[in-house]
């Protein structure tokens, strides 16, 4: 089947021009200013922007929460992600209890992700440090996984990885072209500060931010970067939230170290006041780690994106409904960390970033699609509109005016962090490998349409992010 997207303005990470995109089957086969091609399906994109489908490289579907024994919402909720303009996620594949890295990944592909609506690559993720995982690391590229996540935070939970393990993972990963991703927060200091809060009876969710100050993130970021420098291997810092951590990345980049970093929609568009709401149930929704910050840190993150210190904006999506959050309402240390957001990442970033003049349209495409595809070794199959790339395309209507409403795009949990926020522009059509799966901002695809995508080794270090100016 052939499809022609006509009359739209094509925006890529590199440029912007009028362009008609012809698709044959799953691939883009031509791009012309005015195509005369005949096609089975014609999509008129007049007055709209045609961009590569989003790549969200930080999601947690069907994954154990950091407290309790409940899982986040599963892949059957990824229809909302596609409606939000994202066509590929790179989801974390935590070790299942008693299983190794490889078995957990295979189980995810064969069982957990069978309903996925979105294409997905995977990051390996250590949650049970046993000797065998160091031998498994070398096998990861063979099964299409070229990144591994370590949590420096969450002491006391199986997610935590100590410095010795992190260093060993960095050394092993280097040998096999695997990029190490770290959640950089000093878990020991957080634990101490949490205990102090509990002793004082300071149990409201606002103390989540008090017990996770920015310096614990800055310190761990500097430590992780230093260990990667000693191991002489690339490192990627997930969910950066403060100037201190961004400065550490910037300094490392300036001295030539291969360091990459991301921030999340929530750290760019929300602030600490959401945790300070009197209503504990409301405040609990905003417990994610690192914690939401003051406005001066929010501004610093936008600057870090513009100066290319940070390379991507991700959702860190965790489908944790109030049924799970409620277990910790009497003590913030027992509230599961994480918040939903994969469905809102692109629309929120368009309104808050592009329409408010904080980032250019090219930067927008870079940070929500092209850079994540490069970093994760799936570019140019994903993250670009070009001949030979997968026909993963989102069409955004810049004239749309409305507000975020959970009812418009149910995300699998019973709230939306951005409820009521203004939207100026919205994704209205999405194609996944040539097939229209979202029309008029409604999902019309099939559950199970998503496919596993193989990643290549040392994504960014191999492809180089420097060619994007
Ligand atoms: O609070 C968060 N971000 N939870 C999800 C796990 C993680 O730390 O990435
Ligand atoms: Zn994290
Ligand atoms: Zn995360």
Q: Which residues pair with 16 in a beta bridge?
A: 11
Ligand nearest, relative to CA of residue 63: 1
Q: Is 202 left (phi over 0), alpha (psi -120 to 50) or beta?
A: beta
What pLDDT is stored for residue 463 in this prediction?
A: 57
Q: What are phi and psi of 2, to 5 degrees?
A: -110, 145
User: Would the pTM of this model clear 0.85, i.e. be above it?
Assistant: yes
Where the chain has pLDDT below 50, the residues are 467-469
Q: Which of 64, 66, 89 to mutate to test the pocket of ligand 1 (most atoms within 8 A of CB)?
A: 66
Q: Indicate the class that CATH gives domain 52-381+453-467.
A: alpha beta
- The pLDDT score that the predictor gives to residue 460 is 62
Using CA atoms, how far apart are residues 365 and 12, in angstroms rounded to an integer? 6
Task: Tell which phi-psi region holds residue 464, choosing left (phi > 0), alpha (psi between -120 and 50) or beta.
Answer: left
Q: Which atom of ligand 1 is nearest to the CA of 60?
A: 5
C-alpha 104: how far from chain center = 20
DSSP 66: S
Residue 67 C-alpha to ligand 1 middle, in angstroms? Answer: 11
- Please name the residue whose Cα sits nearest to atom 5 of ligand 1: 338
Strand partners, 119: 88
Quick one: pLDDT at residue 2? 98
Task: Of 185, 194, 192, give the one whose Cα is nearest residue 239.
Answer: 185
Q: Which atom of ligand 1 is nearest to the CA of 151?
A: 8
Evaluate the CA torsion angle 416, 420, 425, 430 in order and state its sign: positive
Best CA proximity match to 341, nearest among 86, 162, 103, 1: 86
Per-residue model confidence (pLDDT) at position 262: 98
The pLDDT score that the predictor gives to residue 462 is 59
Tokens 């509109």, located at residue: 385
Ligand 1 site-directed mutation target among 56, 58, 60, most atoms within 8 Å of CB: 60
Check residue 467 and give its pLDDT: 47
* Best probe residue, ligand 1, of 186, 267, 338, 413 (max atoms within 8 Å of C-beta): 338
CA-atom Rg of the chain in angstroms: 21
As a residue count, the chain comes to 469
Pocket mutation for ligand 1, best pick of 63, 288, 314 (most atoms within 8 Å of C-beta): 288
Sole residue written with tokens 């070794």:
377
What does the block give as tokens for 36? Answer: 């005369």
Summarised one tens digit per residue, pLDDT across range 286-318 is 999 999 999 999 999 999 999 999 999 999 999
Could you tell me which of 33, 29, 20 has the C-alpha nearest to residue 1? 29
287 lines ligand 1 (CB under 6 A): no
> Considering only CA atoms, which residue is closest to atom 8 of ligand 1?
289
Which residue has the least CA distance to atom 6 on ligand 1? 338
**Which one, of 352, 220, 206, 199, lies nearest residue 292 by Cα?**
206
Tell me if 369 CB under 6 Å of ligand 1: no
Q: Is 337 in the pocket of ligand 1 (CB under 6 A)?
A: yes
- Torsion angle defined by CA atoms of residues 214, 216, 221 and 222, in that order, rounded to the nearest 10 degrees: 110
Token pair for residue 206? 């606002």
Q: How far apart are CA 456 and CA 459, in angstroms?
A: 6
Q: How many CA atoms lie within 13 A of 177 on its CB side?
A: 19
Please work out whether the CB of residue 288 comes within 6 Å of at least one atom of ligand 1.
yes
Q: Residue 215 half-sphere exposure, CB side, CA atoms within 13 Å?
A: 5
pLDDT of residue 466: 58
60 C-beta closer than 6 A to ligand 1: yes
Written as one string, the DSSP assignment of 87-132 is EEEEEEEEPPTT--HHHHHHHIIIIITTT-SSEEEEEEE-SS--TH
- Dihedral of CA atoms 305, 306, 307, 312 in degrees, nearest 10, equals 30
């Amino acid at each position: 089947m052939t499809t022609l997207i006509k009359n739209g303005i094509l925006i890529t990470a590199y440029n912007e021009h009028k362009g008609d995109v012809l698709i044959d089957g799953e691939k883009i086969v031509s791009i012309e200013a005015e195509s005369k091609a005949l096609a089975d399906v014609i999509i008129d994109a007049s007055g709209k922007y045609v961009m590569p489908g989003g790549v969200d490289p930080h999601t947690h579907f069907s994954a154990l929460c950091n407290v309790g024994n409940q899982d986040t919402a599963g892949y059957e909720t990824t229809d909302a992600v596609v409606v939000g303009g994202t066509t590929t996620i790179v989801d974390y594949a935590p070790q299942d209890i008693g299983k190794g890295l490889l078995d957990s990944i295979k189980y995810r592909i064969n069982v957990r992700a069978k309903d996925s609506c979105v294409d997905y690559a995977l990051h390996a993720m250590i949650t049970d440090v046993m000797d065998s995982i160091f031998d498994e690391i070398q096998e990861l590229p063979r099964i299409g996984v070229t990144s591994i996540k370590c949590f420096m935070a969450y002491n006391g939970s199986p997610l935590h990885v100590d410095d010795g393990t992190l260093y060993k993972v960095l050394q092993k990963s280097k040998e096999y072209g695997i990029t190490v991703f770290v959640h950089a927060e000093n878990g020991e200091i957080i634990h101490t500060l949490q205990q102090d809060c509990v002793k004082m009876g300071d149990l409201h969710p606002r103390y989540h931010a008090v017990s996770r100050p920015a310096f614990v993130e800055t310190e761990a970021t500097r430590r992780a970067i230093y260990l990667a420098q000693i191991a002489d291997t690339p490192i990627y810092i997930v969910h950066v939230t403060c100037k201190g951590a961004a400065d550490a990345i910037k300094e490392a980049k300036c001295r030539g170290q291969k360091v990459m970093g991301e921030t999340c929609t929530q750290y760019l568009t929300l602030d600490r006041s959401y945790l300070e709401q009197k209503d504990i149930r409301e405040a609990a929704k905003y417990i994610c780690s690192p914690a939401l910050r003051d406005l001066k840190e929010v501004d610093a993150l936008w600057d870090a994106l513009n100066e290319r210190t940070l390379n991507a904006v991700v959702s860190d999506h965790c489908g944790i409904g109030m049924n799970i959050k409620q277990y910790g309402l009497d003590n913030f240390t027992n509230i599961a960390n994480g918040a939903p957001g994969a469905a809102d990442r692109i629309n929120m970033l368009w309104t808050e970033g592009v329409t408010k003049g904080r980032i250019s349209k090219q930067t927008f495409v870079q940070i929500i699609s092209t850079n994540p595809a490069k970093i994760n070794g799936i570019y140019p199959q994903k993250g670009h509109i070009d001949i030979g790339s997968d026909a993963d395309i989102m069409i955004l209507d810049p004239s749309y005016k409305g507000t975020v409403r959970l009812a418009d795009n149910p995300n699998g949990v019973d709230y939306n962090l951005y409820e009521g926020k203004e939207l100026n522009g919205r994704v209205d059509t999405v194609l996944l490998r040539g097939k229209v799966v979202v029309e008029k901002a409604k999902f019309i695809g099939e559950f199970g349409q998503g496919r596993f995508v193989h990643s290549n080794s040392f994504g960014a270090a191999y492809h180089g992010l420097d060619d994007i100016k």
